[in-house]
Amino acid sequence: MLVLNVIGKGAAPEAFIEALPGAGTAETLSIGHAFDLPFTGDAQAVLAAAKAVPGADRLDINLVETEHRKKKLLIADMDSTIINVECLDELADMAGLKPKIAAITERAMRGELEFEAALRERVGMLKGLPLSALEKTYAERVRLNPGAKHLLATMRADGAHTMLVSGGFGFFTRRVAEAAGFHAERGNTLLDDGAALTGEVGTPILGREAKLAALEEAVAKLKIEYAQTLAVGDGANDLAMIQRAGMGVAYHAKPVVAAAAGAAINHNDLTALLYLQGYTDSQIIRG
């Protein structure tokens, strides 16, 4: 069964109930911020009608399957999803190359460039960058996105396994995974000569297919169904895992990802992934 899930500041069910003739009784997840609304009738017609409600453009509105709603596996992208930046772009800033490299990053994340080739090209431009720039980038630029710790703590407390899987670099995934509370992490390897980057990345490169493989391996190891999984990301290299997961979420994502994902969060922080799963405020760990 599907429900209409609405998230955002000032979210109230009354206008939606009025706009949807087949609407049932709303279930509040967060007072004035998130609710579920059962409905009858064609799901896509209901979604379209809901998005036409005045003020709906400021809210995240999705159709959510209620079976297996609270997921047993969370697999998440890192850059611009769990954290606030693209680490490679920030390393480029340290080298005075951010505009050039960020432009390539943007095209790759939009699916306009092949990920592996674009990664090699960008890393190649960083040859000679001192290793101290990595620590400086992490300390000065990298921050967890709002809601990340709430998401991880709540899902872990409910028995979910959590994985950070990034086309970025292990130097950052290891630190971000520990800071946010992930069980496991995977990332690419920046090669160095002991003092500076060599301009090369270790192989095999973790890209779109490797992210999907990480999901598939976790499902097999945990002996769960794909319906019990949640994958979240923002770029084209996240598409395969997002489309395979039981709940695939485009988080403040590029258009190609938002168009293909089963759910999209464009206006709220990562706590929204908990409301999508039906968690209420009283169940969310915020300490």
User: Do 59 and 135 fall into the same domain?
Assistant: no
User: Do 59 and 95 fall into the same domain?
Assistant: no
Residue 192 falls in the annotated catalytic set: no
Q: What confidence tens digit (pLDDT) does each residue in 125-176 have?
A: 999 999 999 999 999 999 999 999 999 999 999 999 999 999 999 999 999 9
Q: What is the average pLDDT score of the chain?
A: 97
Catalytic residue among 42, 57, 60, 79: 79
Give the domain-ending residue among 66, 86, 120.
Answer: 66
Is there a cis peptide before residue 13, judged by omega within 30 degrees of 0? Answer: no
Domain count across the chain = 2
Helix (H) or strand (E) holding 4: strand 2-7
Give the domain-ending residue among 20, 41, 66.
Answer: 66
Catalytic residue among 36, 57, 60, 77: 77
Is the torsion defined by CA of 99, 75, 228, 58 positive or negative? negative
User: Do 185 and 258 fall into the same domain?
Assistant: yes
* Residue 234 buriedness (CB in 10 A; 0-12 / 13-18 / 19+): buried
Q: What confidence tens digit (pLDDT) does each residue in 13-33 have?
A: 999 999 998 899 999 999 999
Q: Provide the CB-side half-sphere exposure for 184 (13 A, CA).
A: 13
User: Do 211 and 140 fall into the same domain?
Assistant: yes
Residue 77 falls in the annotated catalytic set: yes
Give the residue-averaged pLDDT of 265-280: 98
Residue 287: what pLDDT?
73
User: Do 107 and 125 fall into the same domain?
Assistant: yes
As beta bridge partners, residue 107 has none
Give CA–CA dist 64/46, Å, rounded.
12
**Pairing between β-strand 73-76 and β-strand 60-65 as defined by DSSP bridges:** unpaired
Q: State the DSSP string of 168-231.
A: EEHHHHHHHHHHHT-SEEEEE-EEE-SSBEEEEE-SS---HHHHHHHHHHHHHHHT--GGGEEE
Q: What confidence tens digit (pLDDT) does each residue in 188-198 have?
A: 999 999 999 99
Residue 21: what pLDDT?
86
CATH number reported for the structural domain that contains residue 87 in this entry = 3.40.50.1000
Give the residue-averaged pLDDT of 253-282: 96
As beta bridge partners, residue 164 has 76, 185
User: Do 218 and 178 fall into the same domain?
Assistant: yes
User: Do 125 and 260 fall into the same domain?
Assistant: yes
User: Do 34 and 171 fall into the same domain?
Assistant: no
To 5 degrees, how large is the angle CA 237–CA 230–CA 177?
Answer: 70
Q: What size, in residues, is the chain? A: 287
User: Do 160 and 55 fall into the same domain?
Assistant: no
Q: What confidence tens digit (pLDDT) does each residue in 66-92 have?
A: 999 999 999 999 999 999 999 999 999
User: Do 43 and 119 fall into the same domain?
Assistant: no
CATH number reported for the structural domain that contains residue 53 in this entry = 3.30.70
Residue 152: what pLDDT?
98
Q: What confidence tens digit (pLDDT) does each residue in 200-235 have?
A: 999 999 999 999 999 999 999 999 999 999 999 999
Give CA–CA dist 136/199, Å, rounded.
18
As beta bridge partners, residue 76 has 164, 232
Give the domain-ending residue among 30, 48, 66.
Answer: 66
Give the residue-averaged pLDDT of 241-265: 96
User: Do 185 and 222 fall into the same domain?
Assistant: yes
User: Do 265 and 166 fall into the same domain?
Assistant: yes
| Cβ proximity of 163 and 74 under 8 Å | yes
Please name which of 188, 78, 191, 86 lies closest in space to residue 131, comparing C-alpha atoms.
191
Residue 141: what pLDDT?
98
| Cβ proximity of 264 and 284 under 8 Å | no
Q: Show the domain range for 169.
A: 70-287
